[in-house]
């Protein structure tokens, strides 16, 4: 059965009809939805899946503390790399979801570094990611580093530099896959 990693920016607290339609297609197809436990997009996605009474969901949490599990779905606990609650701690679950998923749907606020790192994780593994660009209300499919660069071309020069630096800073996570 196909598995989809659904997540996004913490600044996205509601999802619109266009994103709900995409999620509805996942539900209709009986896909397994992997979602994180963060506030923002993760919680908004969980809330919608719960409203739809969808059960084919797994919530990924780092360590023993699961911040949100709206539908009381099965939890996939991910061992953190260390005890400090930093970027590496919280993104351990994202790396696990990218590894397990066949594809991704990411909700991007146009500035979140973490969302684009998750897209890079997917493409590094040869898996497609559909990005909903919230400010533009458009969907973009990213299958390669070139696709990601085209997406970033629409950002300001300062944002492109910041995002590329951020991705490069965390490239060690997926360098083995040959993307960076």
The pLDDT of residue 113 is 81
Pick the CATH number of 3-177 from 3.20.20, 3.30.70, 3.40.50, 3.40.1350: 3.40.50
pLDDT greater than 70 at residue 90: yes
pLDDT of residue 178 exceeding 70, the answer is no
More confident call, 24 vs 168? 24
DSSP class of residue 174?
T
Task: Find the mean pLDDT for residues 120-141.
Answer: 92
Q: How many CB atoms lie within 10 A of CB 59?
A: 25
The domain locations on the chain are 3-177
- What is this structure's pTM? 0.88
64 contact partners, CB below 8 Å, separation of at least 6: 77
Residue 57 phi/psi, 5-degree rounding, is -130, 145
pLDDT in tens, 36-85: 999 999 999 999 999 999 999 999 999 888 999 999 999 999 998 888 88
Average pLDDT over residues 11-38: 97
Beta carbons within 10 angstroms of residue 177's beta carbon: 13
């Amino acid at each position: 059965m196909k598995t989809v990693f659904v997540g996004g920016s913490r600044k996205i607290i509601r999802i619109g009809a266009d994103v709900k339609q995409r999620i509805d297609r996942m539900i209709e197809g009986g896909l397994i939805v992997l979602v994180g436990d963060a506030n923002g997009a993760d919680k908004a996605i969980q809330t919608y899946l719960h409203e739809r009474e969808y059960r084919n969901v797994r919530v990924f949490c780092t360590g023993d503390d699961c911040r949100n599990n709206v539908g009381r779905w099965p939890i996939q606990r991910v061992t953190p790399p260390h005890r400090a609650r930093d970027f590496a701690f919280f993104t351990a679950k994202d790396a696990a979801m990218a590894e397990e998923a066949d594809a991704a749907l990411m909700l991007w606020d146009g500035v979140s570094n973490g969302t684009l790192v998750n897209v890079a994780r997917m493409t590094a593994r040869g898996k497609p990611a559909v990005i909903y660009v919230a400010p533009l209300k458009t969907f973009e499919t990213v299958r390669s580093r070139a696709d990601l660069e085209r997406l970033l071309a629409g950002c300001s020069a300062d944002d492109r530099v910041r995002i590329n630096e951020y991705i490069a800073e965390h490239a060690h996570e997926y360098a083995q896959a040959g993307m960076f």
